[in-house]
Amino acid sequence: MKYKVNEKGYYGDFGGAYIPEMLYPNVEELRQNYLKIIADPDFQKEFHQLLKDYVGRPSPLYLAKRYSERFGANIFLKREDLNHTGAHKINNTIGQILLAEKLGKKRIIAETGAGQHGVATATVCALRNLECVIYMGEVDIERQAPNVARMKMLGAKVVPASSGSKTLKDATNEAMRDWINNPVDTHYIIGSVVGPHPYPDMVAIFQSIISEETKKQLLEQTGSDQPDYVLACVGGGSNAMGMFYHFMDDENVKLIAVEAAGKGVSSGFSAATTYLGNEGVLHGSRSILMQTPDGQVVEPHSVSAGLDYPGIGPQHAHLFKTGRGQYVSITDEESLEAGLLCTQLEGIIPAIESAHALAYLEKMEFKGGENVVICLSGRGDKDLDTYIKYFNL
């Protein structure tokens, strides 16, 4: 349990709830109730029923044979790309929408970068007939038009965030402002393991289904529930936290988190937070973030909108600082090449986010026979434009 949150809402030096008083009643209501609600048998029943019948879980753990041959290890892909709406994001939105209902909330807000979390939120709002407002950076609205259309079709109102860099960080600011101005009937579905306590813990719990299933599937397929390596990409870090969750206390399992190096960690266009950042407070928690010496948040860059975030969740900061997790980075180009390789070897077009995790295989050395699990967090349909441009398809 040494990597889990403590009673004060901290993971070692990281976490807490750095929020203005206007947000306190909402966050406190959540803090007092989330564990109780999640533990309730009725909640569990409904949550798992929806994950099974609506999302399509369990997602397969697929032994990728041609990949394995190429890299000389047993490469397993955890197929979150096969979930309804095409990514792991829906695991969390299903959990939070049920929780919001139990809290009697009538209105749902969320932030989104690439639009995956926005679509996953709009989807569950349609499913449960709740009002839905999605904040999205103006820049992202332009580069993710199909997801904007999806959200609108699902009945959500998409509000452009026009401040700052007009991307995920600014959409998050706008969603927080909305919550401040609507303090009673609104629930904010944060899409990653970031934000004030209890969000990082709550989102991690909902995403932990990924590693819970993986352990069972590994045991069936390999005879052991302990792989040698577990890999996942990290923006805020929700798929990685879900993928690491049930392996954190298995100290012999190496956890590798892959950040987006953008055009290179020293290029000035990067989102490699643990490499470029230091400790500070962003979006309600103490963690590691990219900032100037004066404490102003630096604009990140990544070809992948889902990794284009200047911070990481506090639990990741803790795994990084304690050395439990190894945090590495992959450039835009390396990720796109890995995306193509995965498509050609396995017939799976991965999201560019997930392709960052795949790309790190090129940098690993295997003796042969190791078991490696990679979280394929999403499918690449949304990224076709980027792939088309890069490869002149």
Partner 1 sequence: MNRIKKLFQEKKNILSIYYTAGYPNIGDTIQIAEALQKSGADVLEIGFPYSDPVADGPVIQASSKQSLDQGMTLKLLFEQLKDLRKNVTIPVLLMGYVNPVLQFGVEKFCEACAEVGVDGCIVPDLPMVEYEEFYKDCFEKHHLSNVFLITPQTAEERIRKIDGLTNGFIYLLSSSATTGKNLEVGNTTEAYFSRIKNMNLKNPTMIGFGISDKQTFDKACSYANGAIIGTAFVKAIADGNLEESVSNFMKKFKD
Active-site positions read 89, 111, 377
Regarding 8 and contact with partner 1 (CB under 8 A), the answer is yes
Binding test (CB under 8 A) with partner 1, winner from 108, 176, 348, 359:
176
What contacts 271, CB < 8 A, 6 or more positions away? 235, 259, 260, 261, 262, 290, 300, 301, 302, 307, 308, 309, 310
Binding test (CB under 8 A) with partner 1, winner from 115, 236, 284, 339:
284
DSSP 280-334: EEETTEEEEE-B-TTSPBPPP--SSGGG--SB--HHHHHHHHHTSEEEEEEEHHH
Mask of contacts with partner 1, 203-242, x by CB under 8 A? ----------------------------------------
Binding test (CB under 8 A) with partner 1, winner from 2, 42, 106, 183:
183
| Residue number, 129 or 296, with CB nearest to partner 1 | 296
Q: State which H helix or E strand residue 254 sits in.
A: strand 254-262
Q: Which of 343, 380, 357, 383 is nearest to 64 (CA)?
A: 343
Q: Which of 301, 281, 300, 195 is nearest to 241 (CA)?
A: 195
Q: Which of 140, 147, 206 is nearest to 169 (CA)?
A: 140
Number of other CB atoms surrounding residue 341 within 10 Å: 19
Regarding 173 and contact with partner 1 (CB under 8 A), the answer is yes
Least Å distance, CB 28 to partner 1, is 9
Mask of contacts with partner 1, 132-171, x by CB under 8 A? -------------------------------xx----x--
Least Å distance, CB 183 to partner 1, is 4
Size of the site for partner 1 (CB under 8 A): 32
Regarding 20 and contact with partner 1 (CB under 8 A), the answer is yes
Regarding 306 and contact with partner 1 (CB under 8 A), the answer is no
Least Å distance, CB 16 to partner 1, is 7
Regarding 293 and contact with partner 1 (CB under 8 A), the answer is yes
Regarding 129 and contact with partner 1 (CB under 8 A), the answer is no
What contacts 384, CB < 8 A, 6 or more positions away? 349
R_g of the chain computed on alpha carbons = 19
Regarding 254 and contact with partner 1 (CB under 8 A), the answer is no
Least Å distance, CB 283 to partner 1, is 8
On the 0-12 / 13-18 / 19+ scale of CB atoms within 10 A, 138 is: middle
- Residues listed for the chain: 393
Contact status, residue 137 vs residue 161, Cβ threshold 8 Å: yes
| Residue number, 291 or 354, with CB nearest to partner 1 | 291
Regarding 3 and contact with partner 1 (CB under 8 A), the answer is no
- Where helices occur in 2-144 by DSSP H, the ranges are 24-39, 41-50, 65-71, 89-102, 116-128, 138-143
Regarding 268 and contact with partner 1 (CB under 8 A), the answer is no
Residue 338, classed as helix, strand or coil, is: helix
Q: Which of 73, 62, 88, 80 is nearest to 361 (CA)?
A: 73
| Residue number, 49 or 163, with CB nearest to partner 1 | 163
For residue 196, say if its preceding peptide bond is cis, omega within 30 degrees of 0.
no
Regarding 190 and contact with partner 1 (CB under 8 A), the answer is no
Regarding 180 and contact with partner 1 (CB under 8 A), the answer is yes
| Residue number, 196 or 237, with CB nearest to partner 1 | 196
Contact status, residue 254 vs residue 228, Cβ threshold 8 Å: yes
Least Å distance, CB 118 to partner 1, is 19
| Residue number, 16 or 86, with CB nearest to partner 1 | 16
What contacts 229, CB < 8 A, 6 or more positions away? 253, 254, 255, 256, 364, 370, 371, 372, 373
Q: Which of these ranges, 128-136, 172-180, 201-209, 232-240, lies near partner 1 under the rule CB under 8 A?
A: 172-180
| Residue number, 289 or 328, with CB nearest to partner 1 | 289
Least Å distance, CB 178 to partner 1, is 9
In the complex, the residues that contact partner 1 under the rule CB under 8 A are 8, 16-22, 24-25, 163-164, 169, 173, 176-177, 180-181, 183-184, 279-284, 291, 293-297
